[in-house]
Structure 1
Amino acid sequence: MTFSDTYVNREERFSLGIEETSGQCFVSFPVFNGLIEYEEYYAIDQQMLERFHHNLDSALEFVNRCRRREMDELLMQKPGSKRGFAC
């Protein structure tokens, strides 16, 4: 998978973008598992991507739900046995 960011929020530590091969939109943020920091990617639709680009509060609400692992069914890549926690 090739993930291309269309928006990066450094202060809140999340990104929005599109996976180039499938065209799937995503939200991502860094996680740390005690050894390495990596990104978790959550699938969203085009309408959500556009809304999140224009409404930071809406994006943050969704990102925080993902960080609390409430949206795991949307993970684009399933985590390994040593899953990280949001940084």
Structure 2
Amino acid sequence: MEFNDVFFSKRERFSVGIEESGKLYVSIPVSNRMIDYEEYFEIDKSTFDTYIKDPASALSFVERCRNREVDHLLIIQPGIDRGVAT
């Protein structure tokens, strides 16, 4: 899988992009005791368009991702040593 960010917020620590198969996503950085990585949450086209036009509108969804409230949208399921949002 190849993830290509279309928008990245260094300050708010999230990105919005398109995975090579066409899936649209929001990603957040996470860390476990061994590695830093990203978790990718699938979004629909309408949501993607909204977040690209107005990135601030994504912040409530990003917070839900960080709080693990939308894990059913994870594109890749985490391993046993799941990281914590950073």
| Fold match (TM-score > 0.5) | yes
1:13-65 Cα offsets, whole Å, 9 max, x none, are: 10000001x20000001100121100000000111011111223320100100
In structure 2, the partner of 1:12 is: 12
Q: Which runs of 5+ in 2 are unaligned?
A: none
Q: Which runs of 5+ in 1 are unaligned?
A: none
Residue 3 of structure 1 pairs with residue 3 of structure 2? yes
CA distance in 2, matches of 1:6, 1:70: 24
C-alpha RMSD of the superposition:
0.8
Question: Percent same amino acid among aligned pairs?
Answer: 50
* Aligned positions, number: 86
1:45-60 to 2 correspondences below 5 Å: 45-60=44-59
CA distance in 1, matches of 2:48, 2:84: 23
